[in-house]
Structure 1
Amino acid sequence: MTLGFGFDSQLTESWIRQSLDLGLVIALTFLVLLAVRDRRTLWMVRGLIVLMVAAAIGERCQLRLLSFVLDKLVVGASLAMSVVFQSEFRRFLEQLGRGNLLPSSIRSTRRVSDTADRSIDQIVDAVKELSQQRIGALMILETNEMMDERDFAVPGVKLDAKLSKELIQTIFQTTTLLHDGAVFIRGDRLIAAGVILPLSDRAASRQLGTRHRAAMGITERTNNCLCVVVSEETGSISLAEGGILDRPLTSSKLKELLETRFAPIGERESVAPSIRNLGRRFKHRAIAMFRRLLQLPENK
């Protein structure tokens, strides 16, 4: 009896320790994926995680040669990523030190103020005028957390001016020195003008103009912004998010998309009820499966 009790105690302790180890690894992985917002970096982090999982499985199954090779690959990939993505790792460590790993949408419910509504109106009115006059324009709209200006190819000229449609229209007049770059907008402030953005390398984007490729390039690089583009040749309006262009748009449609994107969390959820319903169905199915596994009676 004593031996049996000791064996059960050791087995329980081992199971708890392994469960805690796995849980901590999953939590750490989740926090890293939340902190990484650059899409290319995110893919590399996911690849590194796959290598680490494969190495752990190889060691668990006592596949010595495979485990040895994968361990070396994990070390080499970690060193390469630490060199290539120095700024991303520095940002991750800064967020870890501040305790700001969770995105703002999880930490607190973001509310749109009257100031944000006025900013959208100013932007849409300016875009409408520029489109009618066929004056090219490119605008970067910061969304959630503050953007790192190191994501820009050239930060541009600092302005930090009150946002207005007249200011936007003036900057993009072809006679001004700053018309050929993008303007960077944060809330109701126009932070900089003449910003040069990295271009998208996607094959499909090469058929588009430089402004459209720049809008796709910056939104591929970071999830913290949208880009509004006005074509100089046709006057068409486009909105870029996540490296994807939505075009052509009317000024009213642009305003609708911006209001939806900057809407309060509750309103945005009501726009897409199908996602919430899908989550509910998944929860109910998981509970039903759990009951069947434990042979529990279902509620009538």
Structure 2
Amino acid sequence: MGVLPKQWLTDPSWIQARLLQLVQNLGLAIELVLVLALTYLVLVVIGERRTLWMVQGFIVLMVAVTLAQNLGLKVLGFVLDKITIGCAIAMAINLQSEVRRFLEQLGRGKIASLFQSSHAPPPRSDSITDEIVEAIKQLSQNRIGALLILETNEPIDERDFSVPGVRLNAEISKELLQTIFQTSTLLHDGAVWVRASRILSAGVILPLSERMASRQLGTRHRAAMGITERVENCICVVVSEETGSISLAERGTLNRPLTSSKLKELLEARLSNTVDREVVAPNLRSLGRRIGSQGGAAIARLLRLTSSASSNKK
């Protein structure tokens, strides 16, 4: 057994200091647990991959602000604090529906329902493929031109498009696809941008391919080749307005002409791993490990910076 320090008997202030330190450490632990629970709650309410990345980046900013203030880095802390406030306002504007749902449930006292995701189970990849193939088949039979750009792995950056188009964010269906490409609509000339099971935008203008072999083709085919030359993680489905033939563009190469059954086979092979991308919120343990590892790495970097700064001063 260890020997108790003499301060226990001779210095009551030492005992008070130790008790105060213990209370502070306990309060910090409770605060971390509450922040972790609040973060998990936000992830469940949002439940969408790209938005989750934005939330994770905001959490990293808050951790950086806290560390900078605790380490006495006043200028860095001030700058990061202002950036965090601006990001919070931008997120509140971008996540209006999620924030409204959160406040409604909180106001009604339905705290438990906040931990239940409002998103329905993602549709199966084969059902999405069937919707696309059926729409393309009908458009081909009626000789209605169409152009679809489908993500395969990572999300596409809008800056790769010439014009982003009109935002829709609608569940994909053969009826909606056929309606968009009707010549009487305002969006039929552009491409439809599809991510997983949703139509993000319509009327998207894509960059044209400059390859000499593609000049014999129509504008839709050159646009399909152009975007797949620039972006690897996408494929394009094209329906010719003149002949009704179906083509599939990938990595700047056209596979044509295709039957509807062959198109379905190719789409199933390329979209089977990307359609079911609705995010399930991570469990609390894995979330805690992730935040802990990121926070530890950030602390280590800041400590190295401060130690190097102090050594330079010496």
Calculate the TM-score normalised by the size of structure 1: 0.50
For the pair shown, the structure with the greater C-alpha radius of gyration is 2
Structure ranking higher on relative contact order (CA contacts 8 Å, 6+ apart): 2
